[in-house]
Amino acid sequence: MMPDSVVLFAAVILLFPMGYLLLAAPAFLLVKLDIQPVGLLLRAMFNGYFLTLSVAAVLATIVVALDGRLALTVGISLIAALTIASRRWFLRQMDAGLRDREAGDADAPRRLRQLHWGGMLGNAVQLAVVISSIPYVAAAPA
């Protein structure tokens, strides 16, 4: 069996994309989402976040599976599955909001902002779960 550092490695590779979004996303609260380049940049940021977190979660799942930690493998694979499924839904919603905004829908920026807040909240919840679980999974026997 590999040492507990494997669990910490898995946590760290999950924390990087989550930490990035935690720091980058609030900056978009300072600008209006009715500006086309801002909306496209917001979409690109979330797309990059979902892709990076998907890859990180799959890698973390493989690492902890090789270490023989079944419960942790299931937990991290759930993060991967949720992220992969959320990306498709989130980007469809974002694209629809951007199209509506370009078509002149005055309510579209508000819906984009709600989506932005929802993405930040979802990330914060996942980040809290991962951080709070580190002491438990690092101390648990393999």
CA distances from 94 to 57, 75, 99 (A): 23, 28, 9
- pLDDT of 4 over the 80 cut: no
User: Is the whole model's pTM more than 0.75, yes or no?
Assistant: yes
Residue 43 lies in a domain: yes
Query: Could you list the residue range(s) of the whole structural domain that residue 92 is in?
Result: 5-137
- Residue 74 CA, distance from chain mean position: 18
Residue 101 lies in a domain: yes
Residue 89 lies in a domain: yes
* pLDDT bucket at 140, cuts 50 / 70 / 90: low
Residue 29 lies in a domain: yes
CA distances from 59 to 7, 53, 68, 116 (A): 12, 10, 14, 27
In degrees, rounded to 5, the angle at the alpha carbon of residue 114 between the alpha carbons of residues 82 and 104 is 120
Residue 142 lies in a domain: no
Produce one character per residue of 88-99: b if its CB has 16 or more CB atoms within 10 Å, e if not: eebeebbeebbe
Residue 125 lies in a domain: yes
- pLDDT of 132 over the 80 cut: yes
Residue 98 lies in a domain: yes
| Two structure tokens written together for 51 | 């892709």
11-37: pLDDT as tens digits = 899 999 999 999 999 999 999 999 999
- What's the CA gap between 113 and 138, in Å, rounded? 37
CA distances from 117 to 22, 41, 122 (A): 11, 15, 9
| Structural domains in the chain (count) | 1
**Cβ atoms of 53 and 18 closer than 8 Å:** yes
Stretch 38-67: mean pLDDT: 95
104-128: pLDDT as tens digits = 999 999 999 999 999 999 999 999 9
